[in-house]
Amino acid sequence: MSFAPEPARPADAADTTAVLLCNLGTPDAPTPSAVRRFLAEFLGDPRVVEIPRPIWWLILHGVILRVRPRQSAARYASIWTAEGSPLTTWTDVLAKRLAGNLGERGHRVLVRYGMRYGNPSIPSVLDELKAAGATRVLVLPLYPQYAASTTASVVDAVLGWSRRIRAVPEFRFINRFHDDTGYIGALARRIADHWDAEGRPEKLVMSFHGIPKRSITLGDPYHGECLRTAHLLAERLGISANDYVVTFQSRLGRAEWLQPYTEPTLANLARQGVRRVDVVCPGFTSDNLETLEEINQEAREAFLHAGGTTFGYIPCLNDRTDWVRALTALAERHLQGWDTRPAPAPETPLQRLPRAADRDTRA
């Protein structure tokens, strides 16, 4: 492997710190061609689909990428806004607000965001940060609960980038914040605000993104961290185990995934006589296809069709002030030990003139 030439960094140059927020990603447009490119990258990641590569390559390119892009493009189109993908919009706003908060608290840091799949890619943003002089990077995946298919995949992308870099920056990774007090508090306030405006449901459904059950047997801690988040959130809200249910969504393929599945659970609740539910997605910090389309459209329809009467979707944290404050505190804790204070301003010619007392001493 050859490394690209880089300008030598002066030995006395000040270190520059950066924070890189990472999210899953989204197609560039709600079109079949853009979705095909996105799915090829996403589903081609061995962290996402743990099937022997030759077999999966035939399935992915021979079946999935021929059929699914057109279907998925229609789903993306149903949530697309004038600004583009909601996931990109919210992640961009969050990065800017985090930068502002850290700056107000006296930190001199660069804050950028990158997507694991799609644009802006994590490697391209790391190129940008390195060109800006970043020598230390705090990598903050926006996945509260750790999963190999999400958090570890971000680590793969960062380390993959570093393999072609000669002078590699110092890295720190935040692997999880599923039990972070600020994150739990922001979630609880988000739900409480919804209840203050709309009233309380008969049942609160906490829907997390699913992963194959096999991943748990192989050692993935994701399931336990989801349950821990749910328990802490219920405790903070002051509700009992009978008031909420934990479910898992977004199943892919025929293998068994974490259960209970979200949509069938909602339909069963309606058939059991539950007329009003609220659904919140604590595993997502920004609204996206899985929350706005899969939950607020498809799951809503399943519940109402089965006999439910009122379906409340509680949006993600997005750029709520309490969430930005919690994220700022989380970043600060992991920045400890790195000097992020602004560099002192250079002296002006007037400041370099000897003071009267200095002249008298020399005399």
The rounded percent of the chain whose pLDDT value lies above 90 is 88
Does pLDDT of 4 surpass 80?
no
Does pLDDT of 267 surpass 70?
yes
Q: Do 310 and 325 sit in the same domain of this protein?
A: no
Phi, psi of 319 (to 5 degrees): -120, 30
Report the pLDDT value the prediction gives residue 345, as an integer from 0 to 100.
64
Residue 5 counted as domain residue: no
Q: Do 221 and 307 sit in the same domain of this protein?
A: yes
Enclosing H/E stretch for 36? helix 32-43
223 is known to lie in a ligand binding site: no
Q: Do 171 and 187 sit in the same domain of this protein?
A: no
Residue 134 counted as domain residue: yes
Whole-model pTM: value is 0.92
Q: Do 265 and 308 sit in the same domain of this protein?
A: yes
Q: Do 86 and 169 sit in the same domain of this protein?
A: yes
List pLDDT tens digits, range 126-156: 999 999 999 999 999 999 999 999 999 999 9
List pLDDT tens digits, range 304-360: 999 999 999 999 999 999 999 999 999 999 999 999 988 666 666 655 555 555 545
Q: Do 153 and 282 sit in the same domain of this protein?
A: no
The HSE-up count of residue 235 (CA atoms within 13 Å, CB side) is: 9
Q: How confident is the model at residue 362 (pLDDT cuts 50, 70, 90)?
A: very low
Domains contained in the chain, number: 2
Peptide bond into 260 cis (omega under 30): yes
Residue 185 vs residue 7, higher pLDDT: 185
Does pLDDT of 2 surpass 70?
no
**Rounded mean pLDDT, 18-35:** 98
H helical segments located in 238-279: 262-271
Q: Locate 143 and state its tokens.
A: 């996945």
Residue 147 counted as domain residue: yes
**Rounded mean pLDDT, 213-231:** 97
Report the pLDDT value the prediction gives residue 353, as an integer from 0 to 100.
56
SS3 content of the chain, % helix, strand, coil (to 5): 50, 15, 35
Report the pLDDT value the prediction gives residue 363, as an integer from 0 to 100.
41
Residue 223: CB atoms within 10 Å:
19
The CATH number of whichever domain residue 260 belongs to comes to 3.40.50.1400
Residue 348 counted as domain residue: no
Q: Do 24 and 165 sit in the same domain of this protein?
A: yes
Region for 307 from its dihedrals, namely left if φ exceeds 0, alpha if ψ lies in -120 to 50, beta otherwise: left
290 is known to lie in a ligand binding site: yes
CA angle 223, 252, 277 (to 5 degrees): 65
- Residues 6+ positions from 161 with CB-CB distance below 8 Å: 122, 123, 126, 127
The rounded percent of the chain whose pLDDT value lies above 70 is 93
Q: How confident is the model at residue 46 (pLDDT cuts 50, 70, 90)?
A: very high
Report the pLDDT value the prediction gives residue 139, as an integer from 0 to 100.
99
Q: CA distances (Å), 159 to each of 120, 156, 187, 311, in order?
A: 17, 5, 32, 43
Measured in whole angstroms, how far is the alpha carbon of residue 50 from the centre of its chain? Answer: 22
Residue 254 counted as domain residue: yes
Report the pLDDT value the prediction gives residue 128, as an integer from 0 to 100.
98
Q: Do 151 and 193 sit in the same domain of this protein?
A: no
Residues in the chain: 363
Q: Which of 40-49 are b and which e, b meaning 16 or more Cβ less than 10 Å from the residue's Cβ?
A: ebbbbeebbb
**Rounded mean pLDDT, 241-250:** 97
**Average pLDDT of the residues of the chain:** 94
CB 286 within 8 A of CB 245: no
List pLDDT tens digits, range 48-66: 999 999 999 999 999 999 9
Domain that holds residue 271: 181-314
Report the pLDDT value the prediction gives residue 7, as an integer from 0 to 100.
78
Report the pLDDT value the prediction gives residue 180, as an integer from 0 to 100.
98
Residue 1 counted as domain residue: no
Report the pLDDT value the prediction gives residue 33, as an integer from 0 to 100.
98
